[in-house]
Amino acid sequence: MGAGKVGFQIADILAKEGHNLTIIENEKEKVEQAQEKIDAMVIYGDGASEEILLSAGIAKADLFIAATNRDEVNILGCLLAKEYEVTYKIARIRNMGYSKAIGKINPEKLGIDFLINPRNVLSNEICNLVTYLNANDAAEFANGEVVFISYTITKDNPIAGFRINEFVTMAHGVGFVIMSIRRDGEIFIPKGNDLIKPNDVVSIVCCKKDHTYIKHSFGFNGDKAKKVFILGAGEIGVEVAKRLTARKYTVTLIDHNPIQCERASQMLPDNVLILCSDNTDAETLKAEGLDHADIFIAVTDNDQTNILGSLLARSSGVKKAFTVVNKPDLLNLAKSLDMNTLVNPRLATASAILKCIRGEMVLNIAKLNFNDAEVIEFKIPDSSPIIDVPMKDLPMPKGVKVGAILRKNGKLVIPSGDDIFKAEDNVITMCLADVIPKAKEFFS
């Protein structure tokens, strides 16, 4: 229900995976777009209407996703889906107040099996990326024991010009797997004799305890960040400021809206500096120490403001900028600029929803910024035919790479071709977008 940015993204993914899908949307332009681009039945109407839901087949549905931009409609849709005994109901609830209230009264009473708050999801992603400061993408798996992380290879990086197998040998026994290389906008899963070139984005899976060694040994480390500027004092900006302050960062929060600034001052500790100023006033920002900042985070509701703010920060010498960009056309533009790390709320929310609906054998998902691959953590079922067979002898789908295995007993394995899968293993994989259905079938 809902074919906006998030709903369209989820529907497109599910349709490509072969699901029998019906979309309900009350804006004709979005209906036409969905009909043109997604292999699904698309119904024009209000998802809060029982008549519309019945015409969409709610009585026979296994899964109901309420992803409109109206929280009340999403809640009502889940209530109606509950009445028709839909197995799983997922609601996207944007209002933080609603999310907290629903959590107190038990979401299942409202027919909600999984509640997704986009602002909370986005705040988690931003704070996680700040933790891995120099990374393009970062996510933790296997209960936080495994890190997936990607870095851009600069021309003076010590591994530029080496082959993959040479890079692995240089690690002196520290286990990691190079999952993918993005080169000239295209992603591929490399082989041992592939060269690592300047400007490549190399993705790695390693044990979290080994990440510091890998980062320092291969030129991915930077100075420890201490000072953070956040552009935008909305709910996301305030939440990120709160979390980073708790982690001992020095935080400055900037917004042009005096009401937003006043609200933020009431919610944040006194050691957060709040500036009420034009978001992109270069002189004011520099006067407040922007040129000495380590990190700039742009989280306003306006993509253009975020992009301009990050460009200003980068030109002022800020080491790392995180930029929230919603619109696909501006996202493509921003990728061509010196923007460091882009954060897309639509992809972050889609990842959270996909984690809920991919089934009990999928434990965690991270979608990459370019939306052409996913990092997926699978659980191997007891009945799987791939158990006890060396990985080198398995018909692994092309476009799938295994990075780590967490055994049932807690042992972590960075695998080679001789390793085997066991029942109830957690397996962290990189899957190119077009082979995800095959990967799900292979690991099931």
Predicted pLDDT at 319: 83
Question: Predicted confidence band at 106 (pLDDT cuts at 50, 70, 90)?
Answer: low
Residues 122 and 343 sit within 8 Å (Cβ to Cβ): yes
Q: Please give the residue that has the higher pLDDT: either 302 or 339.
A: 302
Predicted pLDDT at 397: 92
Question: Predicted confidence band at 31 (pLDDT cuts at 50, 70, 90)?
Answer: very high
Coil, helix or strand at residue 439: helix
Class of the CATH-defined domain 224-318: alpha beta
Of 212-216, 279-283, 287-291, 409-413, which has the strongest mean pLDDT?
Answer: 409-413
Q: Classify domain 5-116 by CATH architecture.
A: 3-Layer(aba) Sandwich (3.40)
CA distance 210 to 187: 25
pLDDT digits (tens, 9 = 90+) for 265-315: 999 999 999 988 875 667 777 787 888 888 999 999 898 889 888 888 888
Question: Predicted confidence band at 423 (pLDDT cuts at 50, 70, 90)?
Answer: very high
Q: Look at residue 385 and tell me whether its pLDDT is greater than 90.
A: yes
Question: Predicted confidence band at 65 (pLDDT cuts at 50, 70, 90)?
Answer: very high
Segment 346-355 shows an average pLDDT of 82
Q: Which two tokens stand for residue 35?
A: 């009909």
Q: Please give the residue that has the higher pLDDT: either 174 or 82.
A: 82
Segment 18-41 shows an average pLDDT of 92
Predicted pLDDT at 105: 61
Q: Which two tokens stand for residue 29?
A: 């332009």
**What does pLDDT average to over the chain?**
86
Residue among 205, 198, 148, 153 at smallest CA distance from 368: 148
Write b or e for each residue in 339-354: b if 16 or more Cβ atoms lie within 10 A of its Cβ, otherwise e: bbbbbbbbbbbbbbbb
Predicted pLDDT at 244: 94
Question: Predicted confidence band at 89 (pLDDT cuts at 50, 70, 90)?
Answer: very high
| Helix boundaries (H) for 85-178 | 96-105, 118-131, 164-169
The predicted model scores a pTM of 0.77
Q: Which two tokens stand for residue 385?
A: 């035919």
pLDDT digits (tens, 9 = 90+) for 225-260: 789 999 999 989 999 999 999 989 999 999 989 999
Q: Which of 35-49, 69-83, 214-228 has the lowest mean pLDDT?
A: 214-228
Segment 112-129 shows an average pLDDT of 88
Predicted pLDDT at 396: 92
What residues does each domain of the chain span? 5-116, 224-318, 348-443
Q: Which of 249-258, 358-367, 408-417 has the lowest mean pLDDT?
A: 358-367
Segment 69-78 shows an average pLDDT of 90
Fold classification of 348-443 (topology level): Alpha-Beta Plaits (3.30.70)
Please determine whether the domains at 5-116 and 348-443 fall in the same fold group of CATH: no
Residue among 268, 262, 261 at smallest CA distance from 239: 268
Segment 361-370 shows an average pLDDT of 80
Q: Which two tokens stand for residue 150?
A: 């990607």
Predicted pLDDT at 238: 94
Q: Look at residue 23 and tell me whether its pLDDT is greater than 60.
A: yes
Predicted pLDDT at 41: 94
Question: Predicted confidence band at 156 (pLDDT cuts at 50, 70, 90)?
Answer: confident
Residues 433 and 371 sit within 8 Å (Cβ to Cβ): yes
Predicted pLDDT at 137: 84
Q: Which two tokens stand for residue 123?
A: 């705040």
Segment 362-373 shows an average pLDDT of 79
Q: Look at residue 173 and tell me whether its pLDDT is greater than 80.
A: no
H or E stretch including 322?
strand 320-324
Helix/strand number for the chain, H first, E second: 15, 21
Question: Predicted confidence band at 339 (pLDDT cuts at 50, 70, 90)?
Answer: low
CA distance 38 to 155: 41
